[in-house]
Amino acid sequence: MYPNDLIPVGNVLVRKEIVTEPFLCDLKKCKGGCCTIESEFGAPLLKDEVEKIKEILPVVKEYLPEEHIKAIEEKGFYDEIEGELLTSSLNNKACVFVYYEGDIAKCAIEKAFFLGRVKFRKPVSCHLFPIRVSEFGGDILRYEKFAECNPAIENGKANNSKIIDCCGEALERLYGSEWVESLKKESNK
């Protein structure tokens, strides 16, 4: 039996807050805060994502500020800490893949993807945010709360959008559309 706040879907456990909490990104207000959260390291990476990023790095660099390119060339674009792979952070703030449109932080990998220059959208951990995946004999999905995302909570309330709605495409990318539909059915029980 599972605790009341967990929804089992296949071999994945999902915290109920994923389907109940309001959330809809509002870049005009948050300014891309998820890409610039103060931290020594950036977003979690999967091993195969490191290889994909290595392949597309020459294209992605075309969209990065010179300071970020220099950091990548000197240090690389990821760190390995106790077996976990993470994007590098610049000045303990911005992900090394951040570029700015005005005062909004955006992902250069995703820009290259939307321009049709690469086939890899961005690390799945970034695409899923504010959902984080923990491993405990299977995936456990949880909501990671940051003050930078308060505008997304207000926007979610105003637009009746939940985390699952905001992150639906990313969840499909990771688990498939049938899994997402199963989560929705299980959450309505």
What are 69-110's pLDDT values in tens digits? 999 999 999 999 988 999 999 888 899 999 999 999 999 999
User: Band of the pLDDT at 1, cuts 50, 70, 90?
Assistant: very low
Residue that has been written with the tokens 């990104």 in this structure: 25
116-147 pLDDT tens trace: 999 999 999 999 999 999 887 789 999 999 88
pLDDT of residue 3: 65
Cβ distance 177 to 171 under 8 Å? no
Residue that has been written with the tokens 């300071």 in this structure: 67
* More confident call, 15 vs 42: 15
Q: Does 171 have pLDDT greater than 70?
A: yes
Contacts of 52 (CB under 8 A, 6+ apart): 120
Helices 177-187, 168-175: axis angle to 10 degrees equals 120
Domain boundaries defined on the chain: 1-23+130-189, 31-119
